Amino acid sequence: MSTSQTNNIGQVAMEFLLMTGFSIIMIIILLIVVLNISQSNAESRTYDDIRDFGQALQQELLLASELEDGYIRELDIPLTINSQQYNITIYNSTKYTYMIITYMLQEIYYAVPPIEGEFKKGKTYLHKNDTLYLT
């Protein structure tokens, strides 16, 4: 084998290694981008599901406020939504009452009728006797 053939083989091997390394780096970058997009979509879906849950609860409270005294309803408040933790609180001011759902440092406010008590995850009972009560 001559020196030029050895140099050509060495150059081909070096180019192959560079192209392989470049391909691996590109695949890793592509995987990172896909994982970030996937995580962002999952967070967005969870936020939408929590917002929908809050709207359903708000509608339940509005409906209960229109019904007769003596109304009782068992509400099943899930522990998590899409395996994500959240909190529900009631804020009563002199003029307005809000139900606030907190998820990942974001707060979603829902205007609700005046209500006494707090939501408990699991079974919560909604009663109406002049005003709404959660137990």
Q: Which pLDDT score, from 0 to 100, does residue 19 have?
A: 94
Q: pTM of this prediction?
A: 0.73
CA 69 vs CA 30, 56, 132: distances in Å = 60, 21, 9
Q: Which pLDDT score, from 0 to 100, does residue 105 have?
A: 86
How far, in Å, CA of 66 to CA of 7, rounded? 89
Q: Label residue 4 by pLDDT band (50, 70, 90).
A: low
pLDDT at 6 over 70: no
Residue range(s) defining the domain that contains residue 87: 3-134
Instruction: For 65-78, write each residue's pLDDT tens digit.
Output: 998 999 999 999 99
Instruction: For 96-115, write each residue's pLDDT tens digit.
Output: 999 999 988 889 999 999 99
CA 45 vs CA 31, 79, 109: distances in Å = 21, 17, 18
**Residue 112: CB partners within 8 Å, gap ≥ 6?**
58, 61, 62, 90, 97, 98, 99
pLDDT at 9 over 90: no
Number of domains in the chain: 1
Q: Label residue 12 by pLDDT band (50, 70, 90).
A: confident
**Left if phi > 0, otherwise alpha if psi is -120 to 50, otherwise beta: which for 94?**
alpha
Strand order in the sheet with 87-92: 87-92, 97-103, 106-112
The position carrying tokens 């009972």 is 125
Q: Which pLDDT score, from 0 to 100, does residue 29 have?
A: 95
How far, in Å, CA of 7 to CA of 12, rounded? 9
